[in-house]
Amino acid sequence: MRLLTAGISLTFLMVAGCRKDESTRPARAQPASNLPADQREAETLGREVFEMVDRAVDYRGSHRGRPAASFRQMGIDSLTELTARRLVNLDREPVVTVAFRRTETREITSCRGDSQVLEEASLNGGRFTVMCTLRSGDQRPFRVSPPE
């Protein structure tokens, strides 16, 4: 009986030891509903910028270093229900701009990024910075969280 009790205790300790300590987990990003309107909009546009840059870099890598001239060439629509996308290449580096199609009620009209967003995200746990244009015309960097 004593051996059985010791075995159960040892098993319990092993299982409990495998659990990750709650205090060592990184803090979760604020839920999107708690963010200011401009940050929510930057998150929406920024994640789309990230995805389009990732696909443009992937295209370039699979086409012997030749960048795509347009999203159409990559097989991607430049218009979505919510956004319009633009792609330009500067020295074979893709620069992607994603803009809201309807900006009347928006704090931010567009955001842009290049392949630096991929590098920054890989070094910062998924977080990266995009440059966004505000309704006033001013430009400001926004830090974007990875999707949950």
Asked whether the beta carbons of 129 and 114 are under 8 A apart, the reply is no
- Report the half-sphere exposure of 118 (CA within 13 A, side-chain side): 14
Separation in Å, CA 64 to CA 68, 87, 113? 11, 19, 23
DSSP class of 79: B
pLDDT of residue 34: 84
Six-digit token string for 16: 């409990």
Q: Assess whether pLDDT exceeds 60 at residue 20.
A: no
- Residue 17 one-letter amino acid: G
Closest to 127 measured CA to CA, from 98, 112, 147, 99: 147
DSSP class of 82: S
Other C-beta atoms lying within 10 Å of the C-beta of residue 48: 19
Q: What is the pTM of this model?
A: 0.77
pLDDT tens, 100-138? 999 999 999 999 999 999 999 999 999 999 999 999 999
32 pLDDT band (50/70/90 cuts)? low
146 pLDDT band (50/70/90 cuts)? confident
pLDDT tens, 73-99? 999 999 999 999 999 999 999 999 999
